[in-house]
Structure formats: C-alpha cells, structure tokens
Amino acid sequence: MSSVSTTARVLTVTAEHEASSEPEVVLVLDFGSQYTQLIGRRIRELGVYSEIVPFSIPPDRIRARQPRALILSGGPRSVYEEGAPRCDPAILELGLPVLGICYGVQLMAHVLGGEVAPSDRREYGAAQLEVVGESPLFAGLPREMTVWMSHGDEVRRPPEGFRILARTDRSIGAIAHPERGLYGVQFHPEVAHTPYGREILRRFLFDIAGCRGQWRLSAFIESTIARIREEVGSGRALCALSGGVDSSVAAALVARAIGPRLIGLFVDNGLLRRGEFEEVLCAYERMGMRVHGVRAGERFLRRLRGITDPEQKRKIIGAEFIAVFREEAARLGPIEFLVQGTTYPDVIESTSVRGPSAVIKSHHNVGGLPEHLGFRLIEPLRELFKDEVREVGRQLGVPREILERHPFPGPGLAVRVLGEVTPQRLEIVRAADAIVVEEIRRAGLYEQVWQAFAVLLPVSSVGVMGDERTYEQTIAIRIVSSVDGMTADWVRVPYDVLERMAHRIVSEVRGVNRVVYDISSKPPSTIEWE
C-alpha cells in the first residue's frame, strides 16, 4: 500500500469495541446536544459502559444490544418543528428504563400525547428545583437543589399517567411514569453546574435500571491495544506529536500495540510557545520513544501571510501539517497509518459525529483534514475527555510532566494572535504567554487551573510610558478552570498575581501598553479566543 495514495479512512478505536464482551451497557441516543458525550462520560464514571448511538437507531438494533437502559439526550431543535429529530416511538415500548434529558423529556412528552410549547421566558443557567413528588430518582436528595437549565421550550402538560416530580418557578422540572420505567428531567444532570446531577444519574442507573457498575477504563486500554494491533498488523505508523497530553497518550497506546513500528513526528510550525520544541523532544527521548523533530516554521508562516479569519487559519495549518507528514513519511519509508490525539471535545466542536450537533470551530486534526489524506487514521482517544485521557496516560506510565501540561490548541499561537499572524506579533504573544505561565507556576496554581495563557488582540490604545505618549497593543489574559473542556469558568486569581503579570508584560514585552483579564465562562464563550 502506497503511503501517499491511499484514501483516508478513520480507524476510531474506542471503548465501544469492548461492548461485545460487556453485558452491562447503557445506550445514549444523540439528538444533537453539545453535552451528549458528557452524558456518556458521566455514565462511565459511575462504572457502567455507555455507547452513544444515533437518534434514528431502529428498535431491533437496540434489542440486539440488550442494554440496561436508554438515555435520550438534549438537542438544539424544538420537538414540534417539522424535520426535528425523532426516534422511533416503539423505543419507548421496549420495556427498558428510559431517561429523557431536556429535548429528550420534551420528545417523550410530545410523542406520548403531552403538550410541549415555547416557554414564556427562556430558562438558561442556574435554577432552583423543588422536588414535589416521591421517586427513586430523587430519593435521599434535598427537596430543593440547584440545577442547570438550557431550554426555550417546556413540557406544559405531561402525557397521561405521568407524574410531576419536580418544578422550578418557571417550568416543570421532572416527570415520570414509574410503571413504564419512563423518566424525564428538563435540566442537565450531566454538567458540573448541577451539583447533585451525578447522584441523580446514579439513582437512575442503579436504583431504577438495576446496573451493577462493573466497567473500568482499564477495559478500554486492553481492548484498544488489541484492536490497534489487529488493524495495523505488520504495518508502520507515524504519530503526530504535539508535546501535549492527547498526542502523547495516543502515542503510548499505539506504541504498546506495535512497538518500534511507531515513529513519532514533532513539527515546529513556528507557532509553538517559547522553548517548546527543545523541551518536548527531550521529554519524548526520556520516554524512550522514537521521535523525529522537523523545523518547518517558515513554510507555515508563508501560508498564513495575510490571513485573519480563524477558521481559515485552522484549515491552512491542518493542510500544511499533512503536507509535512507526507514528505516525512516518504523520507522515512513506507508508512500506512497516521496516529492523532483527537479527543471528543475536538470532535464535538468541529463536526457532528453521531447526531445533528452544531459546528463551533474546526480543529486541524478534525475539520481541517483533506478528503484524500494519504494515510489511514488511527484516533484511539476520539471519544474520550481530557480527564479520561490523563487517567489512561497514568495507567500507561506517561510522565507526569506531560500529563499535567495545559491543553494547547493544534494550530498553536495562530489562534491566540487575533488578526494576521506575523513573526513580530507571534513574538509578542509568545513573550506575554511565558510570563503568564511563569507567574501561575510561581503562585502554585499551574496544576489547579485548566489553562492559563495570553492572547494578542487586534486593538491598539493610547498609553503613557516614561512620560511619553504610546499607541500600542493589548494583551488579554485567559485563565480558566474546567473538568473536561466542555464547560469552563474563569479563575478568581489573586489580585497580586494578576498585578505581577500585567506589570511584567507591559514592562518586558515591547509593543504592549495595556493588559486585560477575561472573565467570561464557557458557555457562552469558548476557552480559546479566536
């Protein structure tokens, strides 16, 4: 097989390959929510294997999987709209416990003869839920609790036989038909902003669905290694290394499967942080990995000249990465496979994999791939979240210095330079970013926060430095806390730490006279600026 003529095919190696030997499974029907995979992850955290399937899955396929329960995800549509995603109503007649979440409960109510209509006031964010009915779903929990809402429609009237279990001051919060095993909640128990959400899911899984909680992430590792070994056979693979957690853990998994037939490739695209190229190569050498470093900054910057649109930047960088990989593969000999550390937050923000999810942005290793890649893709982490990836890495013995690195976007500093990417602007953000990280480490906060970085804004303003008027650029500091990257909150950094950052940036980084701090959460913002 030629390494440069093969049509790309994604080999997605995930925990679902273990499903055939795992009798206990919960299926999550995806109606397009940005939180669908988060539901699946929460279920796995509770020790139950979960698999995300399209909302259109036929009832006979569900029967064949023999799940313990079904969960209907949220979604961006209205159930009464023409063309809105709907599952086969027969799914609700299979005798399986079903939990509908947000759109899921609305769909259940609509299909079974209840009334769903637009809310008088859209309910978004934290809300106070009052439990008004007895149910195993809320057993032992406070009668009042904070939940996270995100809906413009509501269940006005439950179907016949359903009981109202909980309310907010604006809407019905939960309903159930216990005799049929049908439950629905208007809020999102899967997100961290619902403090008792994990316990509500636990009660559904164990007390209602009768799950035992015997699945472990170690099963994913074993099945993934076996699957890679089977698919790659005697072939060779090239791993796109970035120095971050995702690509490093992906490489460790593949190396465990095929040994020295995996070659790591780390490309300096001119968009790395200060000293990163040398540091990363040394780290991989200490891991005993076979790694080739390639300096290619000039060619990337040439392609980016004059480009300001962030989506276009991502696609250009992705295409140039692939060009480099092709060239290096030809030089290194016949290579059939390309390994990437794609994770589910990358996928869900880039493209709808299973349901009708909205596209937020392209990632260079997802939406930016050309149709004819030249390699067969191996993406062993494609359906895992960051904390799951870190746990896999710990079990594989990946060094702590890599596992605890903050996430870094595939396109690098190109998406942290708003506007045109030039060597001069890159040097500004690179210097400012180094200061932010140094001060976060100095304050002992590095491992406590999700990300901390600097962004160069396309904004100049008047300042006074040394009794002289200046008209220089603005740096934004972004520091967030998160568990999985799907939601995030800005960190209340001590004022003295922020003061040191701002003072040093203005004093040490030529061309900057103003520093601002980003206090927006995700949602509605993303973590990166772009």
* Among 18, 51, 102, 349, the one annotated catalytic: 102
Measured between alpha carbons, how far is 12 from 30 in angstroms, rounded to an integer?
18
Annotated active-site residue 379? The verdict is no
| Two structure tokens written together for 162 | 């359903």
Name the amino acid, one letter, at 350: S
Closest CA to 461 of 471, 447, 446, 449: 471
**CB neighbours of residue 54 within 10 Å:** 15
Annotated active-site residue 190? The verdict is yes
Annotated active-site residue 406? The verdict is no
* Among 110, 151, 177, 188, the one annotated catalytic: 188
Task: Please name the helix (run of DSSP H) or strand (run of DSSP E) that holds residue 281, with its range, or none.
Answer: helix 276-286
* Among 18, 24, 51, 190, the one annotated catalytic: 190
506 in Cβ contact with 498 (< 8 Å): no
Residue 198's region, left for phi above 0, alpha for psi from -120 to 50, else beta, is alpha
Q: Where are the beta strands (DSSP E) in 161-273?
A: 163-167, 172-177, 182-185, 237-241, 262-268
417 in Cβ contact with 474 (< 8 Å): no
Task: Please name the helix (run of DSSP H) or strand (run of DSSP E) that holds residue 286, with its range, or none.
Answer: helix 276-286
385 in Cβ contact with 37 (< 8 Å): yes
Task: Please name the helix (run of DSSP H) or strand (run of DSSP E) that holds residue 396, with its range, or none.
Answer: helix 386-396
- Catalytic residue numbers, as ranges: 102, 188, 190
